[in-house]
A = this chain, B = another copy of it.
């Protein structure tokens, strides 16, 4: 913690101390500050951290996370139960491991500075319970974001049934571009809001169409994998600025955060949760858009996809979704609107989290892989800070990535190996 925000210090309670639950009633601004800090301390969907916040509240959760308060056995038990109940993989399960994971980032915490940054950018940070908070994110359960860093209009978020996610390949074809543009424009004309990422290709065409055709108060929303202080990728800077001016650009990670692969995958759950239906317009056989579709399915949202030529690799992922029965075939705006309208009725709450097997790596290893430099090398300590993992986890993870040929040690420091970009 920096000195800018002196959190109330307190002696760690003895082992016999009562559970921290209910200690002190944090006011709104304390809560906001604590969530801002936690969102920098933890990676998105850090299940142990989210369970801790749910069990102890954000303010005391932060105090435990930064070592100001010791969790009682009752709290540890509650965190454990929450994790088991939500089917979280073993990698995230231990609170003790989580504390070690968070430790390297504690010195860099400066939530007041982050909030000031947002204010300077004309934006804000919102937390559950704020008037602008999208109510539909509650369907993520334990995996609801701690907060959202927000650039854009200060209007109420449209309800689930009025939001459609249009997602797909970065390298869209002219077919994908035209379909996405038509859909976004048509949905905008019917008063729907469009949500997508901020990437080239389908994402960009979705925002362009929605900005042109949009008639709702918030015609389009870009959910970013990195901090909203930067418009990334730079080729979309003008477009994303327009989205922020006429709609919203949001992220769950604080300003300055890099858009790592791990964060892209977690970001997808927010896109899926905001929209009544997720439409995959174009996707290769393996595509991030399919990940968004699976997120949508896992929380009972509608999933749709657009058929295309069987000769187009950019439709192979869409046809895969159709074949697996995971998506409805849509060919026009009317069919999408119909799906969006009927959404939100069936919450598949019993589905297990599928967050543990992206590309066959554990979450921790994926985070670590993202943190590994490609050209230069990095030390275990530096990697711990960047990845938000304990030095022990980094060492163990580097060993696993090394065995898979994904990381290589060069004179005691580490870099990424050729196999993955």
* Contact surface of A with B, Cβ cutoff 8 Å: 175, 179, 306-311, 315-316, 318-319, 322-323, 328-332, 335
Contacts and interface: CB of A to CB of B under 8 A. Distances in A.
B307 A335 contact: no
A339 to B, nearest CB: 10
Number of this chain's copies in the complex: 2
Contacts of A309: 175, 307-309
A332 B331 CA distance: 22
A323 B316 contact: no
B319 A310 contact: no
A335 B319 CA distance: 12
A319 B329 contact: yes
Contact of A307 (B179, B307, B328): B307
Contacts of A319: 307, 329, 331
Contacts of A322: 307, 322, 329
A319 B332 CA distance: 11
Nearest to A304: B323
A400 B315 CA distance: 48
Nearest to A328: B323
A332 B307 contact: no
7 contacts: A175-B309, A307-B318, A307-B329, A308-B309, A308-B310, A323-B331, A323-B335
A330 to B, nearest CB: 8
Contact of A308 (B179, B307, B330): B307
A413 to B, nearest CB: 46
A306 B319 CA distance: 9
Nearest to A179: B310
Contact of A332 (B306, B310, B315, B328): B310
Contacts of A307: 307-310, 315, 318-319, 322, 329
Nearest to A329: B322
Contacts of A323: 328-331, 335
Contacts of A316: 331
Contacts of A310: 179, 306-308, 331-332
